[in-house]
Amino acid sequence: MSAASPAERPARGLRARLATLAALWRRWRLWAVLGLVVAGLLGVLIWLARNHEIDEVQRALDRESNGAALALRQGLARRQQDLHGLATTQTRVDAWAPAALALLDRHRDWLRLEWRDASLHLLAAADSPYYPPFVTDDTGPQSQQAQRIRETCANAQRFDGAAYSDSHFVQRPGGVGEEVMQLCQPIGAGTRRGGFLLVTYSLGGMLEAMLAPTYTQRQSVAFTELDGTRLAIQGTVRRPGRLFTSQQVLDLPGTTLMLRLDGGRQAPDTLPNVMTALVTGLSIALITVLLLLARDFRRRQQAEAELAEALAFRKAMENSLVTGLRARDLHGRITYVNPAFCDMVGFAPQELIGHALPAPYWPPEHAQEYGERQAVRLSGTAPPREGLESLFMRKDGTRFPVLIIEAPLIGAAGKQTGWMGAVLDLTAQRRAEEHSRASQDRLAASARLATVGEMASLMSHELNQPLAAISSYASGSLNLLDGEAAPTGTMADVRVALARIAEQAGRAGKVINSVHDLVRRRASQRHAVAPAALLDAVLPLVQLQARKLGVRVQLDCPSTLPAVWCEPTVIEQVLLNLARNAMQAMADSAAPRLLRLTVHAEPQPRGARAVLRFAVADSGSGISEEVARQLFTPFFTTKAEGMGLGLSLCRTGIEQHGGTLEHAPALPRGTVFSFGLTVADGTRHAPPAAPAETPALHAPAAASGAAR
């Protein structure tokens, strides 16, 4: 073993000394902390004791300032009572002056006493014998002193009592002066106001006359402004140690003064407090040591129990997870796998932990692709917590899809030590997606079959009425042609019937096209149509059935109504279905049978488009509540031969026009069905020409006769 060189010996000695100091610190750090705690406690106790004595001194000075303020308030109150007595007892000028001088002799803080009338003109005045004459400059109405007197007496009138002026400095003969303030005391009250008594106070005289000598022996007492400027002061301050200050606010009517006491007190002694603090501190230190040791032992036991519980909880949570967890270090080696991941890939933990890339669960055909992807991930350029679908291989060679979500793994020092990944098996999800797609295909096929059935039902229902009308007109025409003695105009009636047959055949074609468009979801052709034209189109068929059932038809459609925006074929079919249902509802009624077809304008809010309300009312027995709840349900019907699609199709047609099909009881009996259609913009139709009633009505009559 070679000896150390001379250059390495100082470095070794320094490292040895540092190691020794570190060992000593680890051994004695608890006691060092305990010593610091004891020293700190001693310092805190001494500081608290001194502060307590300082607070006691300050509180004593505050009590004296409160007493001084109370004495000043009481002195001012007594002087106000003396002024009130002077105002009530002396009402003549010649007798007022001696009484005023007596008050000035008693109150040495008064410089001058004046009696002024209600207009503030001076009636009498008296000066204190203890002060040089008080010179005022209130001869002119614009002088500062006169303005101050007016303001003070105005405040006294407003308060209905004494009022004080702000303090101000006055000049004395000989170049001296002092701070004064004035008191204005009203004489009388209300309409019997007899004038004012005006007293000039010396602020320094107030402190000397109203305060006892004890207040000025050990401290100075002064009047100050709110900003701290001294106005008057009495007494002196001894400064053996520390200066203490206390302030009180004198809130007088009309003004505010600040009373300030400055007192010098002996600084608190330290020695008696140190002995007490030393004993107390040592006692607290010993108790603290025991408490610290007990708490440290209890914390150690608690930490060990919590650690064992946390480990057990973590183990139970890992075993109960169905999501695979996989941890890798910064070089890609596997450092941790949970049981769910092992069950997923079929490998034991010891077969995976410590394994480098490529992983044993990578399919060989994707090993190069996965290696490049992992290189990007380990370089830190890929975004964290981003799901990535991949394909894994079990130990038996079967492949299965997975979703991988990886995030940085941060250690206790706050640095990244690897990557933690969550692996989800997507086999069940893929199987469910395949089942869902198969179900959607079956549902689509069923929907197409249902559409075909719906179209067939719709066509059979809608074609029933035009075909019935064609059959009726054809039977009537044959009856007219077969008669040997045909009345005059037979051929004209036959032509009208044939025209009606052609019209109903065209209607049937329109119905077929409309149903075809509905199934193909194609936009309908809408335009502006007069309401009367819609009613005229269905009126012949309505009247044909009305004659068979003995129903009287009543129309109410003013010719001045504007046109509506609609598809005529749909609205005509709705009106015809509603009228047919209404007449069938009155078939068994013994009361007069009346069918009313009405159109009227519906009130709308300002700015909304106008709407016409179409209504079909009957005088039947009405609709029960049980039937009303299912009235518009497809395939629900109360008729033995009905299909239950009429009202459902009517509601669909009205909703396609932006309206709602409604029903309500009619008065005095029956039911009324109604719906609204929007008025076409910028259209206004003239009254329609009267229809050729004779040909239109003859054909139904002939058909009716033929039917009979």
**Which residue in this structure is represented by tokens 């006692």?**
283
Tell me how far the alpha carbon of residue 495 is from its chain's centroid: 76
**Which residue in this structure is represented by tokens 């290189």?**
375
Q: What pairs with residue 182 in β-bridges?
A: 200
Task: List the beta strands (DSSP E) in 506-605.
Answer: 527-529, 552-556, 564-566, 594-602
597-634 pLDDT, tens digit per residue, is 999 988 888 878 889 999 999 988 888 888 877 777 77
Query: What is residue 640's predicted lDDT score, i.e. its pLDDT?
Result: 59
Q: With contact defined as beta carbons under 8 Å apart, do 480 and 495 qualify?
A: no
The CA distance from 23 to 10, in Å, is: 20
Query: What is residue 697's predicted lDDT score, i.e. its pLDDT?
Result: 29
Cis (ω within 30 of 0) for the bond into 186?
no
Query: What is residue 465's predicted lDDT score, i.e. its pLDDT?
Result: 66
> What would be the CATH architecture of the domain defined by 524-698?
2-Layer Sandwich (3.30)
Q: With contact defined as beta carbons under 8 Å apart, do 551 and 594 qualify?
A: yes
The CA distance from 630 to 497, in Å, is: 39
Query: What is residue 234's predicted lDDT score, i.e. its pLDDT?
Result: 85
Residues of the chain with CATH 3.30.450.20: 70-265, 324-425
Give the CA count within 13 Å in the CB-facing half-sphere of 422.
11
The CA distance from 80 to 187, in Å, is: 12
Q: With contact defined as beta carbons under 8 Å apart, do 68 and 261 qualify?
A: yes
Tell me how far the alpha carbon of residue 114 is from its chain's centroid: 68
Residues of the chain with CATH 3.30.565.10: 524-698
3-class state of residue 452 by DSSP:
helix
563-605 pLDDT, tens digit per residue, is 998 988 888 888 988 998 888 888 877 778 889 999 998 888 8
The CA distance from 670 to 372, in Å, is: 82
Query: Per the structure block, which two tokens stand in for 485?
Result: 């003695």
113-136 pLDDT, tens digit per residue, is 988 888 888 888 888 888 877 666
4-33 pLDDT, tens digit per residue, is 566 566 777 777 788 877 776 776 676 667
Query: What is residue 683's predicted lDDT score, i.e. its pLDDT?
Result: 47
Cis (ω within 30 of 0) for the bond into 540?
no
Query: What is residue 596's predicted lDDT score, i.e. its pLDDT?
Result: 92
Residue 704 pLDDT grade (very low, low, confident, very high; cuts 50, 70, 90): very low
Mean pLDDT in residue range 49-66? 81
Distances (CA, A) of 568 to 398, 474, 510, 648: 67, 25, 10, 18
The CA distance from 632 to 639, in Å, is: 14
Fold held by 70-265: Beta-Lactamase (3.30.450)
Mean pLDDT in residue range 78-93? 83
Q: With contact defined as beta carbons under 8 Å apart, do 119 and 100 qualify?
A: no
Nearest CA among 392, 199, 422, 414 for reference residue 322: 422
Fold held by 434-523: Helix Hairpins (1.10.287)
The CA distance from 502 to 514, in Å, is: 18
Structure letter (DSSP) for residue 4 = P
Residue 425 pLDDT grade (very low, low, confident, very high; cuts 50, 70, 90): confident
Task: List the beta strands (DSSP E) in 381-533.
Answer: 388-393, 399-410, 416-425, 527-529
Share of the chain above pLDDT 90, in %: 7
Looking at 3.40.50.720, 3.30.450.20, 3.30.70.1350, 3.90.170.10, the CATH number of the domain 324-425 comes to 3.30.450.20
Q: With contact defined as beta carbons under 8 Å apart, do 153 and 120 qualify?
A: yes
Mean pLDDT in residue range 398-405? 86
Nearest CA among 460, 490, 494, 488 for reference residue 474: 494
Query: Per the structure block, which two tokens stand in for 245?
Result: 């200050």
Structure letter (DSSP) for residue 323 = S
The CA distance from 204 to 72, in Å, is: 12
The DSSP result for 88-115, as a single string, is HH--SHHHHHHHHHHHHHH-TTEEEEEE
Residues of the chain with CATH 1.10.287: 434-523
Q: What is the pTM of this model?
A: 0.38
Task: Specify the higher pLDDT residue, 315 or 551.
Answer: 551
